[in-house]
């Protein structure tokens, strides 16, 4: 038999380990009977306590710590100090010592054994002593069921969120086909909506008479290293113009101010119609002048009538109204055949890409979509089938059925040779099954021998992918890009152009327009220009310009100014000598007003060139 605590070999029937003092409990027996039997086999047998209790040598007793809670329980009650060389190994030591105060150990009182009811009320060990009854285990089934339910719900939520990504991984070709069909479907709806609008039945749309108020500040104007703002004391252009598209009339005032003020230092009055342009600058001269409209705009390279082409009212275009339904039906039939072309194309997954825009980045999966010449022929045949099966077009087709029919057209398509073999378009699809980018390079066309041209289009809006659209076009010697984004009422346009030829190395032109619009509709509101910058290097001439400002617009009933506001206007192209002298005299008299417009240096140079003296600053 061995001690379960330290492994020491023990004699049969011993109660405590002679080495470590551990109580020996025999298995499958009653605890109280086992303890009694370990001490004595019957009531007439004498027990050798010296062997069973005190058989351990003193050296071993000193180094061994007591292992039974009985030891500490009795010690706490008696508070009796122990000799250093007599570390007891059994709780009976203190039990008998406390009761007999020196009785012989060979005759202990077993009628009331101290080990049968030990003091467990305040045990000093965290581990319960041997023989302590265990508490019944709680049932874990409800807890396990609850945990399982939470896991099922969590997995369901994760699966729902990850569904697009998982679908892309499992069947990527299906996802890109779905994205292409959705995109072409939206484009078809857009065409249908535009063609359904009554506005297309007329050649132009009247927006009525409008009133515009401008205030544009020149924040920077550096050209070829020269700062043009240093030549001026003004930096703001103020304008109040009214337009009447019906009469082709533009009238109002334009003035110059300093430090962004809306109060102009010097102001000009303008009125122009289809025949003449009238103008006056009251602060310089009380006389008015006019010139023919054609001579003014022809010199500027502007077609005056074209200014009103999209604003004037036009008569109904009967031909457009007559065929708008036919065009709408044909467009619908063409888009209906696109799905077949999408299904027949070949798809190759290229990998993950990140598309950048000024609203952030968009992650997508890129595919190479290859279309063969036969795919295009099949597409054309499907279009013909759709058109000839369209009931709304049967009346029109009946007019030409005697000259040409469906079978003849399809036979010609099958016999034709397009000559490109196949072409490849790269497309990008996000996990929402949306087409977010596509690009095409002429080098992907088999047997192509022309110039290398590539264009890329991406849709990278934050809320809606179409809120930010980027376009890039590259040719052999040129590249250009445009990015247009909208965020609420704010719109931003970024454009850049750059030649690729080494002949024009270092040349470029970049432009940024950032504006915010507020208004009840397209005809009443306000536009704030937050940023308008132009930077570049053209023909080794650098340019760096920046402007800001605002524009207000509203509908009006009539133009306030008329040509009668310019009485006795002088024809500037046919001035008499007397008129020239009179105008010059009055202008020289009022020339000092330009001191508030030009820098002192520029004013002196102008005066000297006119009058041969530079002492004009102190003259007025």
Rounded Cα gap, residues 379 and 343, in angstroms:
11
18-48: per-residue pLDDT in tens? 777 777 666 554 444 444 444 444 444 444 4
Rounded Cα gap, residues 251 and 505, in angstroms:
45
Cα-atom radius of gyration of the chain, to the nearest Å?
51
SS3 350: strand
Please report the pLDDT score of residue 295 as a whole number.
87
The yes-or-no verdict on residue 8 having pLDDT over 90 is: no
Chain centroid offset of residue 31 CA: 76
Query: What are the sequence ranges of the domains in the chain?
Result: 1-130, 141-170, 345-376+390-555, 590-620
Token code pair at residue 94: 């203190």
Please report the pLDDT score of residue 408 as a whole number.
81
Across the chain, what does the average pLDDT equal?
A: 74
Between 85 and 337, where is the model more confident?
337
Per DSSP, the residues of 471-524 read EEEE-SSEEEEEEEEEETTEEEEEEEEEE-SGGGTT-EEEEEEEEEEEEEETTE
133-180: per-residue pLDDT in tens? 555 555 556 666 666 655 555 545 544 444 444 444 445 677 778 888
Bridge-based pairing state of the strands 346-357 and 289-292:
unpaired
Rounded Cα gap, residues 375 and 28, in angstroms:
87
Q: What is the mean pLDDT of residues 275-286?
A: 94
Burial of residue 98, with CB atoms counted within 10 A of its CB: 0-12 exposed, 13-18 middle, 19 or more buried:
middle
What is the four-CA torsion angle of 338, 339, 341, 345, rounded to 10 degrees? 140
Nearest residue to 366 via CA among 388, 389, 348: 348
Are 379 and 335 contacting, i.e. CB atoms less than 8 angstroms apart?
Answer: no
557-578: per-residue pLDDT in tens? 999 999 999 999 999 989 999 9
pLDDT level of residue 523 (50, 70, 90 thresholds): confident
Within 10 A of 61 (CB to CB), how many other CB atoms are there? 17
**Percent of the chain's residues with pLDDT above 90:** 27
Instruction: Establish how many alpha carbons lie within 13 A of residue 526's alpha carbon, considering only the half-sphere containing its beta carbon.
Output: 6
Indicate the helix (H) or strand (E) that contains 289. Answer: strand 289-292
SS3 389: coil
Note if the pTM is more than 0.85: no
Token code pair at residue 518: 């507020």
pLDDT level of residue 344 (50, 70, 90 thresholds): confident
Q: 274-278, 385-389, 536-540 — which one is most confidently predicted on average?
A: 274-278
Rounded Cα gap, residues 70 and 54, in angstroms:
16
60-114: per-residue pLDDT in tens? 444 444 444 433 333 434 444 444 444 444 433 334 443 444 444 444 444 444 4
Instruction: Establish how many alpha carbons lie within 13 A of residue 303's alpha carbon, considering only the half-sphere containing its beta carbon.
Output: 4
201 secondary structure, DSSP code = G
């Amino acid at each position: 038999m061995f001690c379960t605590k330290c492994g020491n070999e023990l004699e049969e029937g011993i109660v405590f380990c002679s080495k470590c003092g551990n109580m020996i409990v025999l298995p499958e027996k009653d605890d109280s009977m086992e303890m009694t039997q370990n001490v004595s086999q019957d009531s007439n047998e004498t027990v050798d306590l010296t062997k069973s209790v005190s058989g351990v040598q003193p050296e071993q007793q000193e180094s061994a710590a007591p292992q039974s809670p009985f030891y500490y329980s009795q010690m706490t009650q008696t508070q009796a100090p122990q000799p250093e060389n007599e570390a007891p190994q059994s709780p009976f030591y203190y039990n008998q010592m406390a009761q007999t105060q020196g009785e012989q150990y060979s005759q202990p009182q077993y009628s009331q054994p101290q080990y049968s009811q030990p003091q467990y009320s305040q045990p000093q060990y965290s581990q319960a002593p041997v023989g302590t009854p265990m508490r019944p285990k709680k049932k874990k089934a409800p807890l396990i069921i609850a945990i399982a339910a939470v896991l099922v719900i969590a997995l369901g939520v994760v699966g729902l969120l990850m569904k697009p990504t998982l679908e892309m991984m499992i069947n990527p070709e299906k996802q890109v086909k779905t994205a292409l069909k959705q995109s072409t479907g939206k484009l078809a709806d857009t065409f249908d909506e535009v063609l359904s609008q009554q506005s297309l039945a007329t050649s132009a749309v009247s927006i009525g008479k409008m009133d515009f108020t401008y205030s544009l500040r020149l924040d920077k104007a550096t050209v070829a290293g020269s700062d043009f703002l240093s030549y001026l004391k003004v930096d703001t252009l103020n304008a109040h113009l009214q337009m009447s598209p019906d009469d082709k009339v533009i009238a109002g005032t334009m003035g110059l101010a300093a430090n962004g003020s809306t109060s102009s230092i010097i102001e000009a009055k303008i009125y122009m119609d289809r025949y003449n342009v009238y103008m006056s600058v009251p602060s310089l001269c009380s006389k008015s002048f006019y010139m023919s409209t054609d001579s003014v705009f022809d010199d500027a390279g502007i077609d005056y009538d074209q200014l009103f082409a999209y604003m004037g009212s036009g008569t109904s275009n009967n031909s457009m109204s007559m065929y708008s339904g036919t065009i709408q039906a044909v467009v619908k039939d063409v888009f209906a055949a696109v799905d077949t072309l999408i299904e027949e194309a070949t798809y190759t997954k290229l990998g993950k890409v990140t598309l950048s825009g000024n609203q952030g980045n968009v992650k997508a999966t890129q595919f190479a979509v290859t279309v063969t010449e036969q795919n295009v022929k099949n597409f054309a045949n499907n279009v013909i089938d759709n058109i000839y099966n369209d009931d709304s077009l049967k009346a029109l087709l009946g007019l030409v059925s005697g000259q040409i029919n469906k079978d003849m057209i399809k036979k010609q398509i099958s016999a034709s040779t397009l000559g490109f073999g196949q072409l490849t378009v790269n497309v990008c699809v996000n996990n929402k099954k949306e087409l977010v980018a596509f690009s095409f390079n002429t080098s992907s066309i088999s047997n192509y021998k022309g110039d290398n041209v590539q264009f890329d289009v991406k849709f990278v809006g934050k809320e809606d992918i179409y809120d930010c659209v980027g376009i890039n076009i590259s040719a052999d010697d040129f590249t250009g890009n445009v990015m247009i984004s909208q965020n609420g009422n704010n719109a931003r346009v970024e454009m850049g152009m750059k030649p690729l030829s080494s002949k024009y190395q270092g040349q470029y032109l970049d432009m940024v327009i950032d504006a915010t619009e507020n208004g009840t509709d397209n005809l009443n509101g306000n536009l704030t220009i937050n940023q308008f910058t132009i930077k570049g290097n053209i023909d080794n001439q650098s340019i760096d310009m920046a402007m800001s400002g605002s524009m207000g617009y509203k509908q009006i009933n009539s133009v306030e100014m008329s040509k009668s506001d310019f009485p006795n206007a002088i024809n500037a192209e046919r001035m008499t000598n007397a008129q020239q002298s009179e105008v010059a005299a009055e202008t020289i008299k009022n020339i000092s007003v330009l001191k508030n417009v030009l820098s002192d240096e520029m004013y002196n140079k102008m005066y000297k060139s006119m009058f041969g003296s530079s002492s004009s600053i102190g003259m007025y």
